[in-house]
Chains A and B, each alone.
Chain A
Amino acid sequence: MNITLQVWRQAGPDAPGGFQTYQVNEISAEMSFLEMLDVLNERLTNQGEEPIAFDHDCREGICGSCGVMINGQAHGPQPGTATCQLHMRKFADGATIVVEPWRASAFPLVRDLVVDRSSFDRIIGAGGFISVDTGSAPDANLIPIPKAVADAAFDAAACIGCGACVAACPNGAANLFTAAKISHLNLLPQGQAERWARTENMVQMMEQYFGSCTNHGECEKACPKSISIDFIAMMNADYVKAKFRNRRLVSQTG
Chain B
Amino acid sequence: MRGLEAKVPEGPITDKWESHKFSVRLVNPNNKRKFKIIVVGSGLAGASAAATLGELGYDVEVFTFHDSPRRAHSIAAQGGINAAKNYHNDGDSVFRLFYDTVKGGDYRSREANVHRLAELSLNIIDQATAQGVPFAREYGGLLDNRSFGGAQVSRTFYARGATGQQLLLGAYSALMRQVDAGKVRLHTRAEMLDVVTKDGRAVGIVVRDLVTGEVTSHSAHAVVLATGGYSNVYYLSTNAMASNATAIWRAHRRGAAFANPCFTQIHPTCIPASDEFQSKLTLMSESLRNDGRIWVPKNASDDRPPGQIPEEDRDYFLERMYPAFGNLVPRDVASRAAKRMVDSEKGVGPLKNGVYLDFASAIAREGAAAIEDRYSNLFEMYDRITDEDPYQTPMRIYPAPHYTMGGLWVDYNLMTTIPGLYSIGEANFSDHGANRLGASALMQGLADGYFVLPSTIGDYLADYLGDPIVPTDDAAFSLVESEVTARVDGYLATNGARTVDWFHKELGKIMLDQCGMSRSEAGLEKALSDIPALYEEFKTDMRVPGVNESLNQSLERAGRVDDFFELAQAMAVDARYREESCGGHFREEHQTEEGEALRDDEHFSHVAAWFWTDDPGKPELETEDLRFENVKLSTRSYK
Interface residues of A, Cβ cutoff 8 Å to B: 11-12, 27-28, 30-32, 34-35, 38-39, 42, 44-46, 48-51, 53, 55-65, 78, 80-81, 85-87, 89, 110-111, 114, 116-118, 120-121, 124-126, 128-141, 144-147, 150-151, 153-154, 157-158, 160-161, 184-185, 188, 190-191
Contact = CB atoms under 8 A, between A and B. Distances in A.
Interface in B131-186: 131-132, 134-143, 159-160, 162, 165-166, 169, 172-174, 176-177, 179-180, 186
A31 B275 contact: yes
A162 to B, nearest CB: 10
A35 B51 contact: no
B179 to A, nearest CB: 5
What is the size category of the interface that chain B forms with chain A?
A: 35 or more
A135 B123 contact: yes
B131 A34 contact: no
A157 B166 contact: yes
Contacts of A144: 137, 140-142
Nearest to B140: A144
Given A12-B550, A125-B180, A140-B129, 20 more contacts: A27-B277, A31-B277, A44-B545, A45-B499, A46-B543, A50-B545, A63-B70, A65-B71, A111-B211, A121-B186, A125-B176, A128-B173, A131-B177, A134-B450, A139-B126, A150-B134, A151-B134, A161-B68, A185-B132, A190-B130
B550 A134 contact: no
B470 to A, nearest CB: 29
B240 A58 contact: yes
A151 B55 CA distance: 30
Contacts of B186: 121
B375 interface: no
Interface stretch (B247-255, B364-372, B379-387, B622-630): B379-387
Nearest to B166: A157
Tell me whether chain A's interface is mostly helix, strand or loop, or mixed: loop
A140 B141 contact: no
Contacts of B550: 11-12, 111
Contact of A124 (B48, B73, B173, B283): B173
Interface of B: 48, 51-52, 55, 66-73, 75-76, 85, 87, 123, 125-132, 134-143, 159-160, 162, 165-166, 169, 172-174, 176-177, 179-180, 186, 188, 211, 240-242, 274-275, 277-280, 282-283, 380-381, 384-385, 387, 450-451, 454, 499, 501-502, 543, 545-546, 550-554
8 contacts: A35-B277, A45-B545, A110-B211, A111-B551, A121-B186, A125-B180, A138-B126, A140-B126
Contacts of B140: 144
B134 A184 contact: yes
A87 B282 CA distance: 14
Nearest to A27: B277
Contacts of A120: 68
Nearest to A81: B384
